[in-house]
Structure 1
Amino acid sequence: MATGSSLEPKITEQISAVREFNRFYTARLSLLSRRHLDTRFSLTESRILYEIYANPLMTATRLRDSLELDAGYISRLLATLAKKKLVRRASSKSDGREKHLMLTATGESAVARLNEQSSAQLEEMLTHVNAADRQLLIASLENVRMILGGKQIPTIRIERLRAPNDDALAILEEYYDAVHVIQRDKPGSLRKIIEEPGSGMWLAYRGEEAVGCVVLRSLANIPLASECKRLYVKHAARGNRIADKLLDVQEEFARSQGVEWIYLDSYDDLKAAVALYERRGYQRCERYNDNPQATLFMRKKIV
């Protein structure tokens, strides 16, 4: 094992942080218990049963590679599980040297209980976390997986539309369904917003996928003001500050157009969105439009 003296101070701190988190989550998920999830199986036995359940053509070689375990250790564990009549082997039709691992009826029942226990444990944990933090947690887990798995995290880029396109129409439709919008923009009205001076629509791309959007349109009834509309980020992309990036670009553009105030409407159930707006400096104000779905109204001075 490398010692702290042989590493840069920053790396040493990072190693310490990862080790500290390892200690936290192994205890939080009860991974140190002799028996996993109050069953008769160890964590490793439970994972082997799950891998066989999830991969119908699993072999001992693939299992060893997937779990990165010693071949002898895998062999002993499989022998134990076979002796308990949880796992059986069947000859491979494509390779006579390999045998497929399959669950018996008893093994399938054991995995069903493990899955049920695991889901109940995580449900209990996540129930006490608010919706916005749950989304952030899942996105962070995906980032950890991509980084440690050697995959490159796609960069986020923000593009202002010059004309309506399929990406814009698709993500707006997803937004409408997600928040149950009644007053929806038609392609013609969207084109008008995009082409109107002082207005616009921006899309956030992760790689080649459109994962977020926001619209700015002029407010004819309020001098030097525009309205923020249709802010949305796909669930799978949340936790990457995409909403902030979209609002940053929107506000920069608005300032370049001489706008001093940005207004928006929302409703109380969208707690994560309201918290985001408040964090960015939006404050509650009087109703300024006739949107029948809106229950709260906010504005921000940007100059």
Structure 2
Amino acid sequence: MDESMRNRATVIREFNRFYTHFIGLINKNILASPYSLAEARVLLEVDKAGQCTASELTSLLQIDPGYLSRILKRLIAEKLVIKSRSPADGRVQVLSLTGLGQATFSNLAEASTQQIGRILAELPLYQQQELIDLLGGVRKILAPAGEQAITIRTGQPGDLGYIAYRHCVLYHQEYSLEPAVFERYVLAGLLKYAEERQAGAIWVAQVNDKIAGFIGMVGLAEETAQLRWFLIEPQFRGLGMGRRLLQAAMDYARENKYKKVLLWTFQGLDTACHLYKSFGFTPTQQAGNDTWKKGLQEERWEITL
């Protein structure tokens, strides 16, 4: 593990310590009840499932089978959980909550809701919403890959301003382009597109509703279109979104009977150029552009459809 990864891991560990102390999870019992956090989690999962097996709980909670067995022994002894034969397979025993178990879990759930409610009540409304949004973001980031919802949509109100903002910030951070000059260039192109909206389109890639990248296509002449504003946010690169966005733009060009598509890029954008080449684009022109950055070499690529 390199030093930067170790530092990031330390930040997460420090937050874990802060949060467990903040809501009292370090206490032996949870929410002033006679039950531990692990016991409360078992009640929660059995309640959600309705019926489940001990092995299913072991897998779901990632808990040691021996430890789970001791928890279940106590919950059964206190008549919160009951074992019975599965109606689908008499050889299998399933777990479910008793009436007392349901009431106990309901009390724990309400106590937890009240505890979180008291925490939120100390915050102004905008911070409450910010906290909820941030926690939702954490859950989406840590969700298994299959749960990451990747979508491509067409442009909607507000996208043009965001495209300009992210282009100017990211190209300055990653390639040290002169911000004032490059920003004017990006804004001028987007303004012209906004005024001639019928001659082009915008596509936006989203991951769990978060904007991850975008691309545009604008008509230059009756039979020629230009690919513009192609960007993938750093944290979402390598997921195939660039190819999907470029495919959407090229499909649009063919559907609208364009015979040629061109784009301008610059040396150093090797991943993007490799993608362009895979779609059939070839470089046709090179020109220096010292106004964006001293020594920068722009390249024009084209494809005939």
Aligned residue number for residue 147 of structure 1:
141
Aligned residue number for residue 160 of structure 1:
155
User: In the TM superposition, what is the alpha-carbon distance from 1:99 to its structure 2 partner?
Assistant: 1.6
What is the alpha-carbon distance in structure 1 between the residues aligned to residue 43 and residue 153 of structure 2? 44
User: In the TM superposition, what is the alpha-carbon distance from 1:111 to its structure 2 partner?
Assistant: 0.6
Aligned residue number for residue 244 of structure 1:
none
What is the alpha-carbon distance in structure 2 between the residues aligned to residue 153 and residue 35 of structure 1? 35
What is the alpha-carbon distance in structure 1 between the residues aligned to residue 203 and residue 128 of structure 2? 24
What is the alpha-carbon distance in structure 2 between the residues aligned to residue 141 and residue 208 of structure 1? 13
Aligned residue number for residue 51 of structure 1:
45
What is the alpha-carbon distance in structure 1 between the residues aligned to residue 61 and residue 25 of structure 2? 16
What is the alpha-carbon distance in structure 1 between the residues aligned to residue 51 and residue 120 of structure 2? 33
User: In the TM superposition, what is the alpha-carbon distance from 1:23 to its structure 2 partner?
Assistant: 0.6
Q: Is the 8 A contact 1:58 1:100 kept in 2?
A: yes
What is the alpha-carbon distance in structure 2 between the residues aligned to residue 27 and residue 210 of structure 1? 31
The 5 A counterparts of 1:120-131 are: 120-131=114-125
Aligned residue number for residue 261 of structure 1:
none
**Given the superposition, is the C-alpha separation of residues 156 and 68 from structure 1 closer, same or farther in structure 2, using an over 3 Å criterion?**
same
User: In the TM superposition, what is the alpha-carbon distance from 1:203 to its structure 2 partner?
Assistant: 8.9
Aligned residue number for residue 114 of structure 1:
108
Give 1:119's aligned amino acid: T
Superposition RMSD in Å: 3.2
Give 2:80's aligned amino acid: L
User: In the TM superposition, what is the alpha-carbon distance from 1:155 to its structure 2 partner?
Assistant: 5.8
User: In the TM superposition, what is the alpha-carbon distance from 1:90 to its structure 2 partner?
Assistant: 1.5
What is the alpha-carbon distance in structure 1 between the residues aligned to residue 89 and residue 95 of structure 2? 14
What is the alpha-carbon distance in structure 2 between the residues aligned to residue 8 and residue 210 of structure 1? 29
> TM-score if structure 1 supplies the norm length?
0.50
Give 1:58's aligned amino acid: C
Aligned to 2:31, the other structure's residue is in SS state helix
Q: Are 2:94 and 1:100 aligned?
A: yes
- Count residues in correspondence: 173
Aligned pair partner of 1:32 in 26, 33, 39: 26
Q: Which runs of 5+ in 1 are unaligned?
A: 1-6, 163-194, 212-303
Q: Are 2:14 and 1:20 aligned?
A: yes
> TM-score if structure 2 supplies the norm length?
0.50
Larger CA Rg, structure 1 vs 2: 2
Q: Which runs of 5+ in 2 are unaligned?
A: 158-192, 212-305
**Given the superposition, is the C-alpha separation of residues 196 and 25 from structure 1 closer, same or farther in structure 2, using an over 3 Å criterion?**
closer
User: In the TM superposition, what is the alpha-carbon distance from 1:199 to its structure 2 partner?
Assistant: 7.8
Q: Deviations over 1:69-102 (max 9, x none)?
A: 1111111110111001111011112223322211
Q: Is the 8 A contact 1:88 1:103 kept in 2?
A: yes
What is the alpha-carbon distance in structure 2 between the residues aligned to residue 144 and residue 65 of structure 1? 22
Aligned residue number for residue 62 of structure 2:
68
The 5 A counterparts of 1:1-303 are: 7-151=1-145, 153-154=148-149, 159-160=154-155, 197=195, 206=206
Q: Deviations over 1:205-229 (max 9, x none)?
A: 6359799xxxxxxxxxxxxxxxxxx
What is the alpha-carbon distance in structure 1 between the residues aligned to residue 26 and residue 100 of structure 2? 26
Aligned residue number for residue 263 of structure 2:
none
**Given the superposition, is the C-alpha separation of residues 147 and 207 from structure 1 closer, same or farther in structure 2, using an over 3 Å criterion?**
closer
User: In the TM superposition, what is the alpha-carbon distance from 1:154 to its structure 2 partner?
Assistant: 4.7
What is the alpha-carbon distance in structure 1 between the residues aligned to residue 122 and residue 77 of structure 2? 41
**Given the superposition, is the C-alpha separation of residues 209 and 132 from structure 1 closer, same or farther in structure 2, using an over 3 Å criterion?**
same
What is the alpha-carbon distance in structure 1 between the residues aligned to residue 30 and residue 208 of structure 2? 41
**Given the superposition, is the C-alpha separation of residues 40 and 196 from structure 1 closer, same or farther in structure 2, using an over 3 Å criterion?**
closer
Aligned residue number for residue 288 of structure 1:
none
Aligned to 1:102, the other structure's residue is in SS state strand
